[in-house]
């Protein structure tokens, strides 16, 4: 430890005197020629300053943003997460997200934008930071980013526009959706009846068309009932009992927010 302290002290002294023209190595006598400072160890690491950052855009607890400044952030909330950050002069960039491709989508419990992830809420692309605007346009979102509220994600067809929404949460059946079927029913017995006629007995009458006289088949007057012979049909209605209530197609689910990565 004393040796390292001595080397660091010497390096600072040399730098401050503007007399150092080569490379500085800590724990090595042969630092890499492409580096200004090389730290060498086989069993220890480099520990940067650990700070509690406030947000991506705020420099606090520093007084201002300094391009290239590197710190380890210990804050972990909806606005910023723990990790190694470097300042680009205007905001903090989390180094652990460097490998995430622009356009990557995730579900999350966060409620707002964070670390280059932007909530898919249909907002105008022009309202995003300049770098995020460029990235949004590059993946096909020229005017607005998609609104994922109350929607599921699905793979698009060749004819669909990227980010377009569609579908419904319910549907109503119509007759064309039902299978072909025949309804059978039984007519009610209530309302049965007969027809009556009066026999004229032995009375003769004039048919009128040919002047002839027609005699009755029997000579007994009275009232008689017709027979039941005679094919006929009855019509009736069969109620379906339906109320045209829409059918929900929304399965059991867990509600989360959806974000798209547009870079930091």
| Pairwise pLDDT comparison (228 vs 207), residue with the higher score | 228
pLDDT in tens, 42-84: 999 889 999 999 988 899 999 999 999 999 999 876 567 778 8
Share of the chain above pLDDT 70, in %: 68
Instruction: Confirm if 113 and 91 have CB atoms less than 8 A apart.
Output: no
Tokens standing for residue 14: 């040399």
Each residue's pLDDT tens digit, 100-158: 888 999 999 999 998 789 999 999 999 998 888 988 999 999 999 999 999 988 888 88
Q: What is the pLDDT of residue 107?
A: 94
Six-digit token string for 123: 């907002």
Q: How distant, in Å, are the alpha carbons of 48, 55, 73, 82, 158 from that of 76?
A: 18, 10, 8, 5, 41
Assess whether pLDDT exceeds 60 at residue 208.
Answer: no
Asked if residue 4 has pLDDT above 90, the reply is no
Select from 212, 100, 106, 102 the least CA-distant residue to 153. Answer: 106
215: pLDDT strictly greater than 50: no
Mean pLDDT of the chain: 78
- Does the structure show a pLDDT above 80 at 168? yes
**Is the pLDDT assigned to residue 202 strictly greater than 90?**
no
User: Does the pLDDT at position 207 exceed 60?
Assistant: no
Asked whether residue 16 carries a pLDDT value surpassing 60, the answer given is no
pLDDT of 229 above 50:
yes
Edge-to-edge strands, sheet with 257-261: 105-108, 257-261, 117-119
| β 92-94/196-199 pair status | unpaired
How many Å separate Cα 44 from the centre of its chain? 46
Pair of tokens at residue 212: 């002839």
pLDDT at residue 254 tops 70 = yes
């Amino acid at each position: 430890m004393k040796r390292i302290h001595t080397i660091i002290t010497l390096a600072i002294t040399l730098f401050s005197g503007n007399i150092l023209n080569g490379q500085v190595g800590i724990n090595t006598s042969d630092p890499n020629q492409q580096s200004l400072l090389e730290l060498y160890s086989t069993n220890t690491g480099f520990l940067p300053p650990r700070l509690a950052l406030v947000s991506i855009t705020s420099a606090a607890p520093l007084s201002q943003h300094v391009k290239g400044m590197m710190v380890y952030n210990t804050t972990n909330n909806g606005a910023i997460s723990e990790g190694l950050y470097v300042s680009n002069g205007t905001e903090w960039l989390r180094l652990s997200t460097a490998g995430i491709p622009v356009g990557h989508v995730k579900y999350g419990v966060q409620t707002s934008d964070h670390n280059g992830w932007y909530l898919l809420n249909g907002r105008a692309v022009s309202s995003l930071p300049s770098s995020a605007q460029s990235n949004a346009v590059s993946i096909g979102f020229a005017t607005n980013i998609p609104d994922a509220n109350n929607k599921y994600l699905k793979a698009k067809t060749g004819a669909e526009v990227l980010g377009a929404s569609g579908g419904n949460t319910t549907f109503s059946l119509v007759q064309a959706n039902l299978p072909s079927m025949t309804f059978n029913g039984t007519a009610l017995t209530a309302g049965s009846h007969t027809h009556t006629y009066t026999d004229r007995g032995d009375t003769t009458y004039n048919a009128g068309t040919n002047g002839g006289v027609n005699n009755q088949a029997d000579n007994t007057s009275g009232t008689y009932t017709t027979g039941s012979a005679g094919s006929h049909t009855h019509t009736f209605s069969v109620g379906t009992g339906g109320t045209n209530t829409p059918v929900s197609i929304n399965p059991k689910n867990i509600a989360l927010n959806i974000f798209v990565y547009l870079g930091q």
